[in-house]
Structure 1
Amino acid sequence: MESNHELSVPQPRNIRKRVRKRRGRGLLYSFIVLLGLSSGFAVWFFGMESGSTLRYMMADTLITTQHRSWARYLIGDEELNRRVADYDKRFNEMAEIKDQNNIDLTHSRDKEVEVEQIEGKNFKGHILYVHDPKMIRVVTTGIVGQGEQILSMVQRTGAIAGVNGGAFDDPNWDGNGFKPAGVVMSGGKLLYSDGGMEDPVNVVGIDRNGLMVAGRYKPSELIKMGVNEAVTFQPKFIVNGKGLIRNAADGWGIAPRTSMAQKQDGTIMFVVIDGRQPGYSIGATLYDVQNLLLERGAVTAANLDGGSSSVLVKDNQVVNKPSSSYGMRYLPTAFLVFSQPEKVAVKNIWENIDMEHFNSSYKPFASQ
C-alpha cells in the first residue's frame, strides 16, 4: 500500500549548516584540548621540579651557542646573567684545585695513535688516544688575518691527527677565527697573550716532560713551569682522578664537545662528541664526558672549545661530523699530533699586528 506522505529530503542549505556546526564543535573541542595541554605543559615546565630541570638544561645549552640571548625566554635576563656569572665563578674555583701530578712519564712509549668510537644515550663521538704526549704540538693558523680549518692545518704541517684548540674572539659566533682569547704557547714560547704576564688565565696544555697542565696560571708561571704547549679554555673537570662536575644538571647543557685528558700512564685522550644533529647525535653534557673519561682511567681532564668548532682529523680525513651547516670553522689554534714534533716550526702569526684593535668580524676572503 502506497503512503500518501512524501519522503522528506534535506535541502542542501540545511546540510551545509549541519556540517558547519559539526566542524565548529570539532574546532572548539580541539582548541579546548590544546589549551588544556598547553596549560598543563606550562604548569609542568615552569612550576614542577622535573620541568624546571629540563628548562634549565635547555637554557644552559643555549648559553653555549651563538644564541645565548635566547635563554632569557626560558629563565629571564636576571637568571641568565646570574647563571653565566655562577659558571665563571665555579670554573675558576675548579681551576684552583691543585694536581698531585700522579702521572708516570718514566717508561718508554710507542708512537701509536688510535681512535675509538663512542656512543651514549643522546650522542656519538670519538676518542683519540696519543700514547706519547710529547708528540702533541699547538699549531696556529697559517693565514694572516684569518683562522684556518683543522683539516687544512693537518695537511699543511704533515700531522698525523688533530683536534680543535682554544678560545677565540668570536663576535656573534660568526668571527673570522684569527684572534685568540687568553694565551697561546707552542714549543715553549708564549706566542700570544691578551693580558699581562702576571694576569691569571685558564689554560689547557702540556709541559716539556709530557705532563698535562690544566688550571689557572699566570703566563710568567707557565714559562717557569716549563709548559710547552697551551691554549686557553675551561673548566678543568677531573683532578687527581676525581670528577668535579656533580651531576648532569651542572654539566653546562647539551652540546658538541671537545675535551682533553691524561691517564696515569701518560696517555693523552682527546674526546670529540658530535651534536646538534637530531637523529644522529644531539650532544653531551660535561658530566657525560667526565663519566666517559673516568671509566677510561683519566687522572686529569679539561674542556676545550666545543660547539661548531669540534673537529677530529686523522690521516688527512675528518673523522667526526661537525655540527656547523657551513662546514668546519676557521680557528686560530689546534692540538696536532706529529711523528717528529721537534721538527715542527710554529711561527708567531700575530707578531707585529695590533691585536688589541683587530676586527674579528672582518672576513678578508669571500669564501669564508
Structure 2
Amino acid sequence: MANRRKKKKTAGQKAAKIFTIIGVLGVIAFGIREYVSYSQNPFIVKWRNIYIETAVTTHSHQWLATLIFPRSVVNQVVANINAQTLAQENMESTWKNGETDANKNLSGKEWFTNVYWELDSPSVNEYIEQNPSCIASGYENLKIDNLDGELDIFTAKGDRVLVVDCANNIFLTAVQGDGYVGKMAFVKEPAQVKHVLSKSFGSYGEEIEDFGDSYGALIAINASPFEDVGGHGSGAIIRGSCIIDGKEYGHPNSMKLYAMNFDDLLYVTNYSKDTVSQYRWGVQFFPALIIDGENVLTSDSGGNGIQPRTIIGQQANKTFMMLIIDGRQVGYSLGATVGECATIMERYNAVQAGALDGGSSAVMYYNGDLITKSSSVSGRGRYCPDSLIVIPASQKDNWTDEYSDFPN
C-alpha cells in the first residue's frame, strides 16, 4: 500500500489551531475564575477573602484584588472589613478581672520561676544546671545570650529563647508558624517602656535603629501610623493619637487607642480628649485582638489578610509584650493574620492586646542591631515619627522626656 503524503498545514490552519487552543484555555481560565470568585466552599471562601484583604490593606498593591476578582466580590470583602471594624467600636478594657502582681519579694530560683514563669521549662533549667556561671550573681542577674539561635533552649510554650537579661527585666524569643517567623520581647517592668518622638518630629521621622541608638534603648519597635502619600511618606505626620506623659502630640481619630496608664496597666479603649492626662503613653491603630482576656476578633484574619505585624499586649501580672512578624518575603516569611498573632499572645496569657501599624514599618531593634527583617526596600523599616522603646532598668527612675519645644 502506497504511503500517503501528509499535507502540510497552511499558515491559516496553524493560526486557527493556536487561536483555538488560546480560546479553550481562556474559557477554562474564565471558568476557574468564576468558580473561585463565587464558590461558597469554606476553604475557597477563606483564602479568597484573605487574598483580597491582604491586597486592599497593602498600600501599594490594592490593584491586585480587582485584577483577579470582580469588583462586586471585592466590594463585599471590603464591606466585611468595615463591619469587623464597627463591631469593635464600643469595646473597651475595664480590667474587670483585675491584675495579679507576681510575687517579687521571693528570691533565687523561686523568684525566677514565679516572675519568669514563661521560662520555667526543662531546657532552660537544664541549661542553668550545666552553666552555673550564668547565675553566679544570683537569678536576679541571670544572663543568657542565644541571639544566633544555636542553643536548644525553649520557653514553657515551646518557642526558642534568644535572650534572657533578668537585671534589665527582659527576655526575647523567636516565634514561627505556618508561613511566618518573628521575634517577641517580654518586659517584666512596664515602666521601662517609653513612647518617644523622632528628633525632627513634625518634619520627618527616623528609622527604628536610630531611635534605639539615640535613646540608648535595649529594645525598640515602630509605633504610630503616619501620612504616607504614594508610599513615600517621610514619617512627619502621625495618623492618630500620640500620647506622651499625659499630653497629645498626634491627630486623634476613631481607631482603637492602646494606652498605658500611670499604674502600668495597658488599656484597649476609644480616644477621648478628656482622658489623655490619665495615660503615660498611647498610640492608635486597629484591630484590637484581646480585651479583658477575651479574643474579640470575629474572624481569623480580622479583615486584614496576611501582613507583616506589630502587636503589643499585656499579661495580668503587668508583663508587657511586643511582637514583630516579618512578612512579604517569599521563601522566608509571608506574614501572619491578626488571628495568628492573637493566638501567640493568648499562648502567653495576654489579657489585653492589639495591632499597631505593621507592613514595611514592622521592625524590632535589640541592643544596637535590628533583629527582624523588614519588607521595606532598605530592609531597615520606614522613617517613623515615633517609637516604643524599652530603656535599661538603671534609667527607669530618672528618665525625662524633652518635648517641651514640640507642638501639642
TM-score range, shorter chain: 0.7 to 0.9
Give the aligned partner of residue 363 of structure 1.
Answer: none
Distance 2:93 2:266 in 1: 14
Structure 1's unaligned 5+ residue stretches are 1-6, 354-368
Q: CA deviation at 1:91?
A: 3.4
Q: 1:96 aligns with which of 92, 117, 125?
A: 92
Q: 1:35 aligns with which of 2, 22, 26?
A: 26
Q: 2:182 aligns with which of 119, 125, 129?
A: 125
Distance 1:113 1:97 in 2: 25
Q: CA deviation at 1:119?
A: 0.8
Give the aligned partner of residue 114 of structure 1.
Answer: 171
- 1:247 pairs with 2:299: yes
Instruction: Indicate if the aligned counterparts of 2:94 and 2:267 stay in contact, CA closer than 8 A.
Output: no
Q: 2:206 aligns with which of 148, 165, 169?
A: 148
Q: CA deviation at 1:175?
A: 1.1
- 1:86 pairs with 2:83: yes
Give the aligned partner of residue 168 of structure 1.
Answer: 226
| 3-state secondary structure, aligned to 1:35 | helix
Q: 1:205 aligns with which of 250, 259, 270?
A: 259
| 3-state secondary structure, aligned to 2:274 | helix
Structure 1 residues 81, 296: closer, same or farther in 2, change over 3 A? closer
Q: 2:215 aligns with which of 152, 157, 182?
A: 157
- 1:278 pairs with 2:333: no
TM-score normalised per structure 2: 0.74
Q: CA deviation at 1:191?
A: 3.9
C-alpha RMSD over aligned residues: 3.0
Partner AA of 1:117 in structure 2: A
Structure 1 residues 235, 101: closer, same or farther in 2, change over 3 A? farther
Give the aligned partner of residue 345 of structure 1.
Answer: 400
Structure 1 residues 349, 259: closer, same or farther in 2, change over 3 A? farther
Summarize deviations over 1:22-53 as a string: whole Å, max 9, x none.
96687457435523430331122112024343
Bigger relative contact order (CA 8 A; separation at least 6): 1
Instruction: Indicate if the aligned counterparts of 2:102 and 2:317 stay in contact, CA closer than 8 A.
Output: no
Summarize deviations over 1:234-254 as a string: whole Å, max 9, x none.
222202222111332535111
Structure 1 residues 292, 329: closer, same or farther in 2, change over 3 A? same
Distance 1:203 1:153 in 2: 22
Structure 1 residues 291, 324: closer, same or farther in 2, change over 3 A? same
Summarize deviations over 1:210-240 as a string: whole Å, max 9, x none.
21122113132132xx311111122222022
Structure 1 residues 206, 352: closer, same or farther in 2, change over 3 A? closer
Instruction: Indicate if the aligned counterparts of 1:251 and 1:287 stay in contact, CA closer than 8 A.
Output: no
Partner AA of 1:346 in structure 2: D
Q: CA deviation at 1:265?
A: 2.1
Answer with 1 or 2: which has the greater Rg.
1
Q: 2:37 aligns with which of 27, 46, 60?
A: 46
| 3-state secondary structure, aligned to 1:247 | coil
Partner AA of 2:171 in structure 1: E
Structure 2's unaligned 5+ residue stretches are 105-114, 116-165
Instruction: Indicate if the aligned counterparts of 1:92 and 1:235 stay in contact, CA closer than 8 A.
Output: no
Q: 1:333 aligns with which of 386, 389, 392?
A: 386
Distance 2:344 2:15 in 1: 55
Partner AA of 2:22 in structure 1: F
| 3-state secondary structure, aligned to 1:303 | strand
Identity %: 22
Instruction: Indicate if the aligned counterparts of 2:176 and 2:182 stay in contact, CA closer than 8 A.
Output: yes
Instruction: Indicate if the aligned counterparts of 1:183 and 1:190 stay in contact, CA closer than 8 A.
Output: no
Structure 1 residues 57, 201: closer, same or farther in 2, change over 3 A? closer
Structure 1 residues 213, 126: closer, same or farther in 2, change over 3 A? same
Instruction: Indicate if the aligned counterparts of 2:195 and 2:281 stay in contact, CA closer than 8 A.
Output: yes
Distance 1:201 1:55 in 2: 26
Q: CA deviation at 1:122?
A: 1.4
How many residue pairs get aligned? The number is 337
Q: CA deviation at 1:335?
A: 0.7
Structure 1 residues 139, 43: closer, same or farther in 2, change over 3 A? same
| 3-state secondary structure, aligned to 2:196 | strand
Instruction: Indicate if the aligned counterparts of 1:208 and 1:228 stay in contact, CA closer than 8 A.
Output: yes
Summarize deviations over 1:93-143 as a string: whole Å, max 9, x none.
3x3364325322364375332221111111111111111111100011112
Q: 1:215 aligns with which of 263, 269, 277?
A: 269
